[in-house]
Structure 1
Amino acid sequence: MKSHAGAKSGLSWAVHLTVAALVVLWLVPTVGLLVSSFRDRDQISASGWWEAPLPVEQTYRVRTDPDAAVERHGRVVLSGNVFDSEDSAGSGTVTGFGVTGRAPAEFAPGATADLRGGGRLTVAADGRFSAEADAPFGRRGPTIYFEAETPPKVTLDNYRMVLGADGMDRAFINTLTVTVPATVIPILIAAFAAYALAWMEFPGRGLLIAAVVGLLVVPLQLALVPLLRLHQAVGIGQSFMGIWFAHTGFGLPLAVYLLRNYMAGLPRDIIESAKVDGATDFQVFTRIVLPLSFPALASFAIFQFLWTWNDLLVAKVFLPAASETKVMTVKIADDLLGSRGGDWGILAAAAFISMAVPLVVFFALQRYLVRGLLAGSVK
């Protein structure tokens, strides 16, 4: 059977399934990060994020206070509730208890266990315990090990920890100070260069285009130390100006390549008609080419803004280590995660806080993204 122009392909279902699978692959880690940002640290360590709505079984160790013991019928009695301790979850159901860390759930709730120092211990399912002995417990009361099923806990403590960190407001301002100029400067330079490579005839133009394409594959890490030495030699060293120029240099090859491809695909008749009417190259660029190239400009602005905002390596190299110049990524990595390396809740909350501004920029300019990326693909 012959196919007709405009007819729907029989493999469209495969395309839809592939797109759906890619969307799921991208969304699953993001959803997991979002859920983890609202979970308690202990529950994150005990279960995966997909088990967040379910109760969590955790093991605790509680030290009792011997000063709370009373004498009853010639015996020393110490009672209380294991969930009242700061070392426990605060609520839940005891599923087992023990007197050693090697067997924290050796006995069932309500059973009686012999203490190693003498005496007996009983822990109920609701957390109430009673320890009895013939003699005082000494300076340290008996240690209770137990396993409890705790309800899921939703908390905003992770976000309070990140937003309330000392100097986080200053780090946010520093991030804007770095990101905005590092996005605008390469766009301004690349736009002029792209117009020259697309519409102006001069010797060596082909070599310049080839050099721009070649610079796209140069590893960023290869240029960090030489560039830093150059900055120190010219006197800008580790400063905001130095990191602006660093991001500009790293972003220019992609910017020139993207804008040049877009501008080369603009209708030639418009450019030639403007020149016939006496317009200079500068007038053609500012009044015709630049307004028509806004989709490509927006596409690069999205990429550059996201890259600069989320950058850690370049900021660590080209900015001083003082707290007054730290950006958000450095602040989070050094001051928050540096002392809480295993606190995944803090990391998840910090990730969502830091991506708030890039998301606003992306959704504001995303309609131009595809138009700019597909520039020159159809003639």
Structure 2
Amino acid sequence: MTRKGSARPAALLWCAAAMTVCGVLAASANDAGDAASATASPEAITDFLIQNVCLDTSRTVLQGVSPIDADPRCAAQRDLAPGENLPYHKHDHPSPGDRAAVARGYQRRDSFPVETGPFGRVVEHSFDFGAGAGRRFGVFDAGTGDGGDITVMSAKAASFAATEDGGGGFQLFVGPDCQGRVSPAGLSDSWLIALFDPSRATPLQGEAVARLADLREDRQDNCPPRLNAAFTRWYLRPVLYRAAEGQGTPVALTTLISEHYGGERREDADHVERFYFTRELGSTRWERWQNLQHSRRFSPEQLAKATADFASSNRCSKAEIPEGAAFVMIDCREWTLIAPPDDPAGDRPGFFLDAVRSRHLADQLFPAPGPR
């Protein structure tokens, strides 16, 4: 979607002036009105998934400029197009003690569209680590945590169909339509981001219980006998995002937030993963919250240490605690540190999906479109 100017509203910039730590805005009475005024549709949701490019007055893409830079040359914005070079990259923020060594942060996360045969247009959100031994930005370093998420759109939902990270490797998410052999249809409506009703206009907010299974690399041929439940909630909120040193002041952006609970009921869910998407940057922030009372992966001592270690890192500002159980944040990344492309003409997109297409079965699930 094309819009005018760069995203640097004057409101809420008091945080920078007061020299306070700027965090996620708490919900207000106006937020409900904002959510109610936004209609859920494939186009509206996709606009939140894909990062924008900045255009000058001649409609030329500005290299090295993002929509949150407050660059006066940014006369308009639009979504990055399939196959278009990336004019900038989004990086996470390093801990204060690491800034000298890793000025560009630890991880790059770009959000761009890719054409496929079965799904049409999907959105790749890359995980590209560039800090540490054997890790390089712009290169898929297999086995070191590089990967990403692939978002697909069905007739009624946006969902994550695949992911790869350092913990679980390459994974497929299958949903209720998975029958027999794993196929593209079986990946739809699995890890829900948001639902929409194609027959009527509904607000871009809601909740549902997703039914899905996470298939690891050694069991991705056949659909599983049962699916797991995940309470999911999505809504719009204005969120104040931090800026890197020397890149201006914090910026408030309307954000599509999707919360994925590890269980059917939020009151006793094991954990929550919260995803933030903005029209300007696509995937903008991610948080992991763990149930303080009971956790499958952590002992009480391990959870206390993980919570304290993350809090001391100062990588992310504080956020509103998810509804339900007593949750504590144990991880977060906010990709609002803007870095220029390595190529002055912009960097080629691809990265994760290029690697995915070389893997067993995945080349059948996400192939490039055939000749027309």
Higher relative contact order (CA 8 A, sep 6+): 2
**TM-score interval, smaller chain:** under 0.3
Structure with the higher strand share, 1 or 2: 2
Structure number, greater radius of gyration:
1
Structure with the higher helix share, 1 or 2: 1
| Structure-2-length-normalised TM-score | 0.23
